[in-house]
Amino acid sequence: MIDAVAALAVVLLVGGVVGTLVPLVPGGLLSLSGVYLYWWQSGFAEPGTITLAVLTLLGLLTLFAELFAGSLAARAGGASWTTTTIAAAVAIVLLLVTGPLGLLVGLFGTVFVVEYVRRGDAAHSTRSALFATVGTLASTALQALLTLTILVTFVLAVFVL
């Protein structure tokens, strides 16, 4: 039988997967919270040390992707740190006002405009904007995959094996 704390841990892990698909919801943090809540409740016995270390690493990778992957993709496309900072701020505001589509359009548009003003090169600006936008989408997919891996591994390690 599953107790209330174990059920809450699983709910947090499922919330982590869903949270990666909802902007501004920290999926990796929710997943780690579920893992560590259960670990604490079990008297620091379950999951085992190696499993806990792997789940922690996956959770930290998820947090890293959430915080930095979009910016790193924009930088890989040639955008400056100033551009990525401005674009992130504009994208968050537009996300709150218009939703996820506003985030993507705002991100692309801001990177394009700021890079065009900065360098006067439409091809470079387009490349930077595409890298930033695709990087953000790829980051979301990566986060979903990582949090789903954490959920499945946790359930297998704690309830099945």
pLDDT at residue 95 in the model? 87
Q: What is the mean pLDDT of residues 27-45?
A: 96
Give the pLDDT confidence score for residue 123 in this predicted structure: 95
Cβ-contact 132, 111 below 8 angstroms: yes
Question: What confidence category does residue 1 fall into, taking pLDDT thresholds of 50, 70 and 90?
Answer: low
Mean pLDDT of all residues belonging to the chain: 93
In the prediction, which pLDDT does 161 show?
A: 80
Total domains, the chain: 1
For the segment 82-96, the average pLDDT, to the nearest whole number, is: 90
Q: What's the rounded mean pLDDT across residues 60-82?
A: 90
DSSP secondary structure of 77-113: TT--HHHHHHHHHHHHHHHHHH-HHHHHHHHHHHHHH
Identify the domain containing residue 26 by its residue range: 4-160
- Interatomic CA distance for residues 78 and 148, integer angstroms: 32
pLDDT given for residue 120 in this prediction = 94
CA dihedral 73, 18, 2, 38 (to 10 degrees): 30
More confident site: 145 or 1: 145
Task: Quote the pTM value.
Answer: 0.87
